[in-house]
């Protein structure tokens, strides 16, 4: 069973689904409903030419606990009905934790794609989720040696396999499709620009941090292209910052973009500013190779920092602007190879499942 619930999970599981099909391995595709609006999920499934999920839920919950509990209940029903030999989850969302727990309670082995990531920052809900999922998983597919060491330090009981990250497979497989189909560059009004995203709770739910990010984007030394996540848009309106942001001539705002549009923007931007973990990885893919300024206090992707692709710049306006100015002044040559693998992670994961679970 392949479980997804958010845009990054769909993207990172797409190569696994293709590898399963290449090996004629039967699977059930389930959308657990964490992101239930069209833009954030179904659009991606259609763009990537993936099959429609056989089971899909719309989970409207007003607290993380309610959301996790609701998804767990719904997923348990599907596992009982379909009786999979292994449930594959990817990442660190509430949907991933709920799906893993539902499987474990029914004695179905869990395979965790992208296991072993650690920010060591327990203010992040994702840090709780990824640690818990790793400790109930039978198979852990660690993207890097660093992730493997994290898992060994915690004495996880499941089997650890270092496979690389399927996000690199996804970029390599999808960028040619994106360049054929996407016309987003025609809509960009700047010749050179930085691509920004901000959606994490510890950033957009904190009025001080949100104000700092808005001011940094407005005063940035390079124009900003900013697709606004629904959560961020809601908080910007609540905090009366939306008008100031949307009227700035230095910023071009978009609704959440399709994956292909986003890939093309990544390839054509000067640099990225993001609090997303997945984008820190995608930026290292050989066809992209872009510097990423991480607008957070920590990252669970130290490999991107060590390789020179990413810099953690914090959430204060002064630090973000200074980092952008430095990057524009000193344009370092980025490595040719990604620290997250060579694009064969999904193939390795499926080979391990065929050997271990069947």
* Catalytic annotation present for 229: no
Q: How is the chain split into domains, by residue range?
A: 2-164+343-357, 183-329
Q: Which phi-psi region, left, alpha or beta, contains residue 91 (left: φ > 0; alpha: ψ -120 to 50)?
A: left
- Annotated catalytic residue within 31, 174, 199, 229: 199
The fold of 183-329 is: Rossmann fold (3.40.50)
Beta partners for residue 226, in sequence order: 253
The CATH class for the domain spanning 2-164+343-357 reads alpha beta
Residue for token pair 């474990």: 104
Q: How many CA atoms lie less than 13 Å away from 298 in the CB half-sphere?
A: 12
List all residues 6 or more positions away from 132 whose beta carbon is below 8 Å from its beta carbon: 97, 100
183-329 shares the fold of 2-164+343-357 = yes
* pLDDT tens string 84-133: 999 999 999 999 999 999 999 999 999 999 999 998 988 888 999 999 99
DSSP secondary structure letters along 12-79 = HHHHHHHHHHHTT----EEE--SS-STTTTHHHHHHTTPPPPSEE-----SSHHHHHHHHHHHHHHHH
* pLDDT tens string 180-234: 999 999 999 999 999 999 999 899 999 999 999 999 999 999 999 999 999 999 9
Average pLDDT per run of 10 along the chain, which is 358 residues long?
92 97 97 70 81 89 90 97 98 96 98 96 91 98 97 98 98 96 97 96 94 98 96 96 97 93 97 95 97 95 96 98 96 94 97 94
List all residues 6 or more positions away from 338 whose beta carbon is below 8 Å from its beta carbon: 168, 281, 284, 285, 286, 307
Assess contact for 201 and 235: CB atoms under 8 A.
no
């Amino acid at each position: 069973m392949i479980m997804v619930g958010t845009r990054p999970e769909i993207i990172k599981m797409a190569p696994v689904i293709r590898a399963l099909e290449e090996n004629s391995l039967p699977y059930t595709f389930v959308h657990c409903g964490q992101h239930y609006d069209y833009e954030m999920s179904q659009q991606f499934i259609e763009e990537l030419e993936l099959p429609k999920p056989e089971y899909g839920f719309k989970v409207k919950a007003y607290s993380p606990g309610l959301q996790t509990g609701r998804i767990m209940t719904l997923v348990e029903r599907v596992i009982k009905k379909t009786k999979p030999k292994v449930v594959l989850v990817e990442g660190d969302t509430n949907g991933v934790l709920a799906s893993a727990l539902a499987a474990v309670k029914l004695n179905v082995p869990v395979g965790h794609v992208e296991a072993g990531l650690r920010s060591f920052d327990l203010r992040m809900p994702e840090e709780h989720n990824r640690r818990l999922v790793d400790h109930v998983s039978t198979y852990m597919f660690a993207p890097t040696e660093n992730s493997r060491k994290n898992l060994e330090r915690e004495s996880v009981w499941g089997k650890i396999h270092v496979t690389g990250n399927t996000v690199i497979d996804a970029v390599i497989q999808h960028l040619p499709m994106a360049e054929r189909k996407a016309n987003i560059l025609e809509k960009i009004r700047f010749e050179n620009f930085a691509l920004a995203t901000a959606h994490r709770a510890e950033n957009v739910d904190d009025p001080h941090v949100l104000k700092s990010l808005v001011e940094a984007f407005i005063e940035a030394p390079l124009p900003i292209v900013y697709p606004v996540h629904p959560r961020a848009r809601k908080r910007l309106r609540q905090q009366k910052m939306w008008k100031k942001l949307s009227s700035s001539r230095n910023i071009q705002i978009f609704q959440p973009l399709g994956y292909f549009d986003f890939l093309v923007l990544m390839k054509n931007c000067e640099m990225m500013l993001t609090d997303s973990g997945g984008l820190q990885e995608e930026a290292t893919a050989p066809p992209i190779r872009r510097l990423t300024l991480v607008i957070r206090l920590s990252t669970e992707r130290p490999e991107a920092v060590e390789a020179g692709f990413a810099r953690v710049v914090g959430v204060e306006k002064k630090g973000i602007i200074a980092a952008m100015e430095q990057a524009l002044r000193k344009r370092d040559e980025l490595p040719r190879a990604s620290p997250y693998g060579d694009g064969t992670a999904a193939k390795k994961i499926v080979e391990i499942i065929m050997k271990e679970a069947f």
